């Protein structure tokens, strides 16, 4: 689902912890493979899903990508996208 560019998460005075990541850096950090593991929070549980690489790249280009927080990085999901559904954490190595 395409998301308007206005929904891209950017550092701001009210949330300086947001750290955008370039698409090139994100692609380097997610590594090779046709699918990339992700997860979302669904109520009290986390739901994992493998995304097709091309679809994930298109989503990152559409809404942007940023560093995950320490909790997601502890689970080896060090990148995050925020779309109309909420945050989705992407399996990636730390910066």
| DSSP annotation string for 31-64 | -SSSEEEEEEEETTEEEEEEEEHHHHHHHHHHH-
As a residue count, the chain comes to 95
Tell me the pLDDT band of 10, cut-offs 50, 70 and 90.
low
CA distances from 89 to 13, 14, 19, 26, 48 (A): 23, 22, 14, 12, 9
Residue 19 has pLDDT above 50, yes or no: yes
CB–CB of 33/91 below 8 Å?
no
Q: Tell me what the mean pLDDT of segment 10-14 comes to.
A: 52
Q: Minimum mean pLDDT among 12-21, 68-77, 80-89: which range? A: 12-21
pLDDT number for residue 80: 97
CA distance 5 to 76: 27
pLDDT per residue as tens digits for the range 30-83? 988 999 999 999 999 999 999 999 999 999 999 999 999 999 999 999 999 999
* Domain range summary for the chain, segments of one domain joined by +: 19-90
């Amino acid at each position: 689902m395409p998301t308007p560019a206005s929904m891209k998460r950017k550092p701001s005075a009210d949330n300086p912890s947001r750290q955008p990541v370039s698409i090139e850096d994100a692609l380097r950090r997610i590594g090779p493979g046709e699918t990339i593991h992700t997860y979302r929070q669904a109520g009290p549980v986390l739901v994992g899903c493998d995304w097709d690489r091309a679809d994930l790249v298109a989503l990152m280009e559409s809404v942007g990508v940023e560093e995950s927080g320490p909790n997601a990085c502890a689970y080896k999901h060090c990148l995050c996208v925020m779309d109309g559904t909420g945050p989705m954490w992407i399996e990636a190595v730390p910066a």
